[in-house]
Amino acid sequence: MHTYSVAEIFECEDDNNGTNVLHLKNIHVSMYTAIHQALQFKTYTIVAAGYREFRGHLRWHFITKCGLKIRAGKSLDKIWRVWRGSHVVSPDKIGSVAGVPFMDFRVLKMVRSHGTYDMQCEAC
């Protein structure tokens, strides 16, 4: 019996010099794992990002350099918005990542707030 896996296909903008975050335009949210379930206490690099609704809320979805597909919690969302805001000259839309360089972040600890788990992160 043959088994087949489903591949995720996404469009991305041109990456001229290999240092810009790719823009995920076609996100399948079921393929992304909550940050507290996927990450360990180490440093990661975001290489692709997209903004998509998940369970009634708009959330950032990321692909890391090591290939993890994660859905951002509050801590990572906060540092990503600051990072993106400092590099995007004129954000045309809320999900714009054009011209944003790779962001390194470090996972510090797991926290629980209002019954929800999250990973506390900081930019490197």
**Per-domain boundaries in the chain:** 22-123
Q: Which residues contact 71 (CB under 8 A, 6 or more apart)?
A: 29, 32, 33, 34, 35, 54, 59, 60, 61, 62
Q: Which residues contact 65 (CB under 8 A, 6 or more apart)?
A: 44, 45, 46, 47, 102
**Is-above-0.85 flag for pTM?**
no
The span from the CA of 15 to the CA of 28, in Å, is: 22
Please give the pLDDT value at position 78: 92
Going by DSSP bridges, is the β-strand pair 33-34/69-71 parallel, antiparallel, or unpaired? parallel
10-residue stretch averages of pLDDT, the chain, 124 residues long? 45 51 75 79 89 79 90 90 81 68 89 80 88
Please give the pLDDT value at position 104: 93
Please give the pLDDT value at position 8: 45
Please give the pLDDT value at position 45: 93
Please give the pLDDT value at position 56: 76
Please give the pLDDT value at position 2: 46
Residue that has been written with the tokens 């992160």 in this structure: 121
Beta carbons of 25 and 11 less than 8 angstroms apart = yes
